[in-house]
Structure 1
Amino acid sequence: MDKQWIGCAQGNFRVGRPAGFKPDIIVLHSADGSLAEAGMRYKKSGALQSMHYAIGNNGEIHQYVQEADTAFHSGLVVNPSAGFIKQKPNTNPNFFSIGIALEVPVVGQPTATQLAACSKLIREIADRWGINVDADHVLSHSAIRASVNCPGSSVDIASLIAAALPDPAANLVAGKQVGLLSRANLRGRPSVSAPVVRVMDAGSKVDVVSFAVGDVVSGNGFWYQDKDGCFFWAGATDRPNPQVLATPNEGDASTDTMVLGGQPAAVVAGLAINRSRFRLPAGQFFTERPKKDLIVLHFTAGSSAKSAFDTWTGDAQHIAAAYLVDVDGTVYEVFDPTQWAYHLGVQGFNGRLDQRSIAIEIANVGPLRPAADNPEVLNWWPPRRGQTQPFGSKYCDKTQTAKYMQTNYRGEQYFATFPTQQVQAIRLLLNDLCGRFAIPKTLPPKAKQFERDLAFFQHYSGIASHVNFRSDKWDIGPAFDWAALGIANAHGA
């Protein structure tokens, strides 16, 4: 990880650690203000206060004391709740700890970027010193000194620990081989800022022993580790998603294509996924990785993938879909489908339906209505510029029968159709996701395919659409060519 060395005043820390102590625990603090204020405090002569690291709201990491040296951050012990501290009643905790402070946000909660940086730093420190990443070894300052509320209730240490745990599949790639699609730099750690140890040519075959999550390049944060302990970016290989390489039936699984050289690399036959153009920033989706057993299809009620993406960026409500499929059939991954965001808008389930499902948003304008001034023209919902009347923007003439379907569904008579290339892209994406996540490749029973039935769909596994969960929605509606998916309906009432 990139860190900015700041340093602190002599006398505010101790060189080395006494009596052979080494770091055994990581202690989390509040910085009691901004990153700048923390740095000034540690540089003030005679303050007798310091920290190894502090992390800004934007994820920037400042370092003040070397990890091998003793920072003064947790020396006063008051009614400790931490078992590790109780086991050493007469020992200064500074001798065997590393301190990390979090910059206090001006308003609201710690940012997702800040917390993600904290988890990565915890993981890096733990690997360096052999520290177990658990509640006994990653703890709050208040667990040592009960008289302080530090770092405060807004910092969920359990979530930080969970995010810092290594991927359980990391060791399952040992003994596997990957091929390089382009030249790759081998580095000492999974970061583009790490020095290059050597360079491998395109076409090389490399035996790997593990993988890690490091710097994100073109939407891919996975890095392989070779037998010599060097790391190289997984996106340069024919297996850009190491989690697929770790599966027992890897030969049949999707390789989860990544963007290479700015272009989608179609390693899975016929399917290309662009992971760079519409990528949702960290903090606008949830990083938990719940089990997935459901795929929900939506349409954007807009004319392009970009129009949908623009409504999600900067939205603090964490509303988004993992995938966008544009009119031309281009598939965009917005965030890792193992994670989640709100997309259903169903009350009373505390997000459980959103967590277990993967959302696919399809660029389609949805229902159409005849224009008020010309019934031979079909409009979609946006008003004309300068007007407030909905369904005021022209979509097509009624003579353009390939662009719409006339039918009666939920109070509307006309619906925009989906281009063939878009439907085929959706078919390939569904095949990929069902295979990758072991989701049943079935559509709802015919009697329920276009109906809302929460009692049924809260337990249904397979492929569904938004109308199955909301009676006030039309997506993806009757105009979609369901038969072109080649997927059978599930049996049921």
Structure 2
Amino acid sequence: MDKKWIGCAPGNCRVGRPAGFKPDIIVLHSADGSLADASVRYNKSGALQSMHYAIGNNGEIHQYVLEADTAFHAGLVVNPEAELIKQRPNTNPNFFSIGIALEEPLLGSPTAAQLAACSNLIREIADRWHITVDAAHVLSHSAIRASVNCPGSTIDIISLIATALPDPAVNLVAGKQLGLLSRANLRSRPSVSAPVLRVLDAGSKVEIVSFTVGDSVSGNGYWYQDKDNCFFWAGATDRPNPQVLATSNESEADTDTMALGDQAAAVGTGLVINRSRFRLPAGQFFPERPKKDLIVLHFTAGSSAKSAFDTWIGDAQHIAAAYLVDVDGTVYEVFDPAQWAYHLGVKGFNGRLDQRSIAIEIANVGPLRPAADNPDVLNWWSPRRGQTESFGSKYCDKAQTDKYMQTSYRGEAYFATFPAQQVQAIRLLLNDLCGRFSIQKTLPPTARQFERDLDFFQSYSGIASHVNFRCDKWDIGPAFDWAALGIANAHGA
């Protein structure tokens, strides 16, 4: 990449890196003004401030400090969110980081040229220093110093990470045709703020050349690129997840299955998993591999596995479950269960409970309520089109007693049951995970199985459910056929 060497004043950086440190992370900043302002500031004697690089709105890159030297850009640590900073509590992050500042945008949003230059620079630096390109190693300044809003909300670091990754799937979708399920705006870049170049009607067929991650719409951050270099949102198509198009046999992508774990053992138990349809890209979960001693069961409060995945894809909050189990019993691996994402929503533990646990999200609508206009009908929470109130969509008639259980639990009286094929898939998955990760195959003590008790469950090892950690949740609740798992309850009060 072309870079313009500017340099900085002596004393505003340090030659070399102390104690054998090398760059392990890349930190993104706001330049607090224009590229010219940054150059003046870093060359002011006694400023004690510098950056390795700054990128202008036009994509121009200025360099002030050699990568092998230490720039003064992120030395003050305040309530850090980044795990690598927490793991080195007495170490100046300048010693093991490279700083990149982005010129403040002229019209409120960064330009496509600036973002492309930043993405390419991240990739180049990462290759040079063997830095993993993910959310643990490409950070905002605010992840180190919580008291600053830097580089600001207009910089989508997750998208930068995604575009910096050399995703081999990108090269496998060229020439494939997609069908549009709704009208699609073709834009100059993958952003809802980009100019609309033309509009295609529902039912149209479009040949694509690539895909990327851009603005998230309804939870999906994927965008396709056509032959005319126009971008359109993947959620408007019959293939909202481009990874499916990149499978060896795209027509079978929805049913592609692979054995979990040990091939022979997995086949023998009948457990299969789909690793192609609902797969989160790198950067939307954490790459660390902490020890696992807990499995937590959730339900989606939605009608399908897809409804849950659509809320995770493109979300920068790293909320997801390692597995989705659909109504028909299909098991989807969303990311490697040895890694982790937030799924419990429990405050005060700094993610420790999420890190030690494997989350399984089960497609189930959850609590039901009699319809306001017909007490013989049970509705679930999702409103019908044009309505705003909850519990506005019909789930079943009361006469369909196999579809629900009537029981009083946490203020609700009716809960959707789980199909036998789904329960069987969960049983097989639990058996496999407990075996692979040496997790105790046990349920909570009977007296605690449906209760929240953080004092107990923060050290409990085995299989639990979301209700054990949150008093405002129902999942997975009393309507699940717990006995069908064939797993005993642990002893204890």
TM-score interval for Structure 1 and Structure 2 normalised by the shorter chain: 0.5 to 0.7
Residue 115 to residue 155, structure 1, CA distance change in 2 (3 Å):
farther
Partner in structure 2 of residue 344 of structure 1: 344
Q: Deviations over 1:29-72 (max 9, x none)?
A: 889999xx99xxxxxxxxxxxxxx99999xxxx999xxxxxx99
Residue 340 to residue 9, structure 1, CA distance change in 2 (3 Å):
closer
User: Post-superposition shift, 1:73?
Assistant: 2.7
Code of the residue aligned with 1:487 in structure 2: it is I
Code of the residue aligned with 1:490 in structure 2: it is A
TM-score (norm. length: structure 2): 0.54
Structure 1 distance, partners of 2:300, 2:407, is: 20
Structure 1 distance, partners of 2:315, 2:103, is: 18
User: Post-superposition shift, 1:260?
Assistant: 7.1
Report SS of the residue matched to 1:421.
Answer: helix
Residue 347 to residue 100, structure 1, CA distance change in 2 (3 Å):
closer
Code of the residue aligned with 2:129 in structure 1: it is I
Partner in structure 2 of residue 397 of structure 1: 397
2:257 counterpart of 1:264: yes
User: Post-superposition shift, 1:286?
Assistant: 1.8
Code of the residue aligned with 1:411 in structure 2: it is G
Structure 1: runs of 5+ lacking an equivalent: 1-5, 13-23, 39-52, 65-70, 80-98, 126-137, 139-150, 157-189, 194-258
User: Post-superposition shift, 1:368?
Assistant: 0.6
Report SS of the residue matched to 1:424.
Answer: helix
Contact (CA 8 Å) 1:466, 1:476: kept in 2 or not?
Answer: yes
Residue 411 to residue 104, structure 1, CA distance change in 2 (3 Å):
same
User: Post-superposition shift, 1:340?
Assistant: 1.4
Contact (CA 8 Å) 1:30, 1:104: kept in 2 or not?
Answer: no
Contact (CA 8 Å) 1:55, 1:118: kept in 2 or not?
Answer: no
User: Post-superposition shift, 1:122?
Assistant: 2.4
Structure 2 distance, partners of 1:331, 1:350, is: 29
User: Post-superposition shift, 1:116?
Assistant: 8.3
Structure 2 distance, partners of 1:417, 1:329, is: 14
Report SS of the residue matched to 1:358.
Answer: strand
Report SS of the residue matched to 1:408.
Answer: strand
User: Post-superposition shift, 1:341?
Assistant: 1.4
Selected match of 1:123 from 130, 134, 139: 130
Identity across aligned pairs (percent)? 67
Residue 118 to residue 342, structure 1, CA distance change in 2 (3 Å):
farther
Residue 353 to residue 56, structure 1, CA distance change in 2 (3 Å):
farther
Code of the residue aligned with 2:464 in structure 1: it is A
Structure 2 distance, partners of 1:55, 1:424, is: 55
Partner in structure 1 of residue 484 of structure 2: 484
Code of the residue aligned with 1:343 in structure 2: it is H
Residue 104 to residue 309, structure 1, CA distance change in 2 (3 Å):
same
Code of the residue aligned with 1:431 in structure 2: it is N
Residue 260 to residue 294, structure 1, CA distance change in 2 (3 Å):
farther
Code of the residue aligned with 1:430 in structure 2: it is L
Contact (CA 8 Å) 2:28, 2:140: kept in 1 or not?
Answer: no
User: Post-superposition shift, 1:285?
Assistant: 1.8
Residue 418 to residue 55, structure 1, CA distance change in 2 (3 Å):
farther
Partner in structure 2 of residue 427 of structure 1: 427
Partner in structure 1 of residue 284 of structure 2: 284
User: Post-superposition shift, 1:457?
Assistant: 0.5
User: Post-superposition shift, 1:154?
Assistant: 6.0
Question: Aligned residue pairs: how many?
Answer: 317
Structure 2: runs of 5+ lacking an equivalent: 8-19, 36-51, 73-96, 110-114, 145-165, 170-246
User: Post-superposition shift, 1:460?
Assistant: 0.2
Partner in structure 2 of residue 362 of structure 1: 362
Structure 2 distance, partners of 1:437, 1:287, is: 17
User: Post-superposition shift, 1:392?
Assistant: 1.3
Report SS of the residue matched to 1:447.
Answer: helix
Structure 2 distance, partners of 1:460, 1:75, is: 46
Structure 2 distance, partners of 1:481, 1:76, is: 61
User: Post-superposition shift, 1:384?
Assistant: 2.4
Larger radius of gyration: 1
Structure 1 distance, partners of 2:461, 2:29, is: 48
TM-score (norm. length: structure 1): 0.54
User: Post-superposition shift, 1:437?
Assistant: 1.0
Code of the residue aligned with 1:359 in structure 2: it is A
Report SS of the residue matched to 1:375.
Answer: strand
Report SS of the residue matched to 2:321.
Answer: coil
Contact (CA 8 Å) 1:31, 1:54: kept in 2 or not?
Answer: no
Contact (CA 8 Å) 2:344, 2:469: kept in 1 or not?
Answer: yes
User: Post-superposition shift, 1:283?
Assistant: 2.3
Partner in structure 2 of residue 73 of structure 1: 66
In the TM superposition, 1:58-207 aligns within 5 A as 73=66, 102=100, 104=102, 119=126, 121-123=128-130
Q: Deviations over 1:222-271 (max 9, x none)?
A: xxxxxxxxxxxxxxxxxxxxxxxxxxxxxxxxxxxxx8754212332212
Alpha-carbon RMSD: 4.7
Structure 1 distance, partners of 2:355, 2:463, is: 15
In the TM superposition, 1:245-264 aligns within 5 A as 262=253, 263-264=256-257
Code of the residue aligned with 1:492 in structure 2: it is G
Contact (CA 8 Å) 1:55, 1:114: kept in 2 or not?
Answer: no
User: Post-superposition shift, 1:389?
Assistant: 2.4
Report SS of the residue matched to 2:448.
Answer: coil
User: Post-superposition shift, 1:423?
Assistant: 0.8
